[in-house]
Amino acid sequence: MAALVETINLTRYFDIGRGQRVHAVDDVSLTIGEKEIVGLVGESGSGKSTFGKTVVGLHGKTSGSVKFRGETLPQSYRPADFQRLASKMQMIFQDPYSSLNPRMTVGEIIAEGLRLHSTLDRKQVQARVEEWLVRVGLQAGHMSRYPHEFSGGQRQRIGIARALILEPEFVVCDEPISALDVSVQAQVINLLGELKETLGLTLLFIAHDLSMVRYVSDRMAVMYLGSLVEIGKADAVYFDPKHPYTEVLVGSNPEPDPELERRRPSTAIVGEIPSPVNVPQGCRFANRCPKVLEQCRSVTPQLITLKDSERQVACHLYN
């Protein structure tokens, strides 16, 4: 599979004053193949959203680089870069309530990308917006309404239409369903799936719902405190986790199946994700890891590919 998006040692720190910095994304190298869905999971504060935003250029890069179809993208974007790249890379945001401008009509929101990035005239833009409203399961007549008149699921559809009307090749979906109810989540996931097929999209699907990520993704990447700890086929990572953190994450994910839950040993681990300001030396998971070794506290494990598999794990247990 040809790589569409490639991050190489991508790093994003945030200075928070007094010489301190948040290590939000640290040295992340991830390749996303054409027409592939890569799921990115991790706890809050693990840097998954920052990673997604840095990839599409909403954050500048502290170091490292992002390649799109082999072309290295600028370190931080100028308006002209957005102008050029927005029609190729788009983003769908988590919160369908705060990510839509309440003063703009739905038609204006969806049309904005086209107005800025295409040469279509007003009539053509309107026709495209109507087409997309129907495509995402709304009605053409909804154009003149405002976001507050829609439910969460409908707003997320508006967000999807806004992102996809430019027919980008690559879309970062940042927790697109976590604000929605279960019955509506499935509507949005199926819509994304259909659009992915018809438009040949490549997706980075960021979420904390492991079951949903496993269902949606081809490959799954697990992030902990700014770095990638495991990458592999989604089913393989879920059913046969290699990294102790992935094991804990999967073990903590409650399944809607009482029998399974009764049989399952308690995997609750002690402690919480440490602050990304003072990142521990060595493996970042060492202080919570049930299988910690001596060297974990001093030597940072590198992502290595396991024998006879596509699985990559950053853990000394596999060295």
Partner 1 sequence: MTGVMTSPQTNPALLEVRDLAVEFATYGGTVQAVRGVSFSVEKGKTLAIVGESGCGKSVTVQSLMGLIPMPPGRITAGSARLNGVEVLGRNVINGKDIRGSQIGMIFQDPMTSLNPTMRIGDQIAEPLQVHRGYSHKRAFSEAINLLSLSKIPEAAKRARQYPFEFSGGMLQRAMIAMAIACKPSILIADEPTTALDVTIQAQILDLLQDLQAETGMAIVLITHDLGVVARVADEVAVMYAGKIVEQGSVDDIFYRSAHPYTLGLKLAMPTNDPDKQHKLNPIDGSPPDLFAPPPGCGYCQRCPFSMKICDSRPPENFEVAAQHFSRCWLHHPQARISPAAPSIPRELYVGERA
Note the residues at the interface with partner 1 (CB under 8 A): 43-44, 151, 153, 181-187, 189-190, 208, 210-212, 214-215, 238-239, 248-249, 251-261, 266-270, 272-273
Q: Which of residues 7 and 185 has its CB atom nearest to partner 1 in the complex? A: 185
Q: Which of residues 61 and 242 has its CB atom nearest to partner 1 in the complex? A: 242
Q: In sequence order, what are the beta bridge partners of 230?
A: 222, 313
Q: Which of residues 43 and 108 has its CB atom nearest to partner 1 in the complex? A: 43
**CB 36, min distance to partner 1, A:** 19
Residue type, 244: P
15 SS3 class: strand
**CB 215, min distance to partner 1, A:** 4
**CB 133, min distance to partner 1, A:** 17
Q: Which of residues 77 and 285 has its CB atom nearest to partner 1 in the complex? A: 285
Q: Which helix (H) or strand (E) holds 9?
A: strand 3-15
Q: DSSP string covering 172-208, please?
A: EEESTTTTS-HHHHHHHHHHHHHHHHHHT-EEEEE-S
Strand order across the 21-33 sheet: 21-33, 3-15, 63-68, 71-72
**CB 94, min distance to partner 1, A:** 14
**CB 20, min distance to partner 1, A:** 17
Which residue is associated with the tokens 């129907």? 134
DSSP annotation of 318 reads G
The rounded distance, in Å, linking the Cα atoms of 267 and 245 is 11
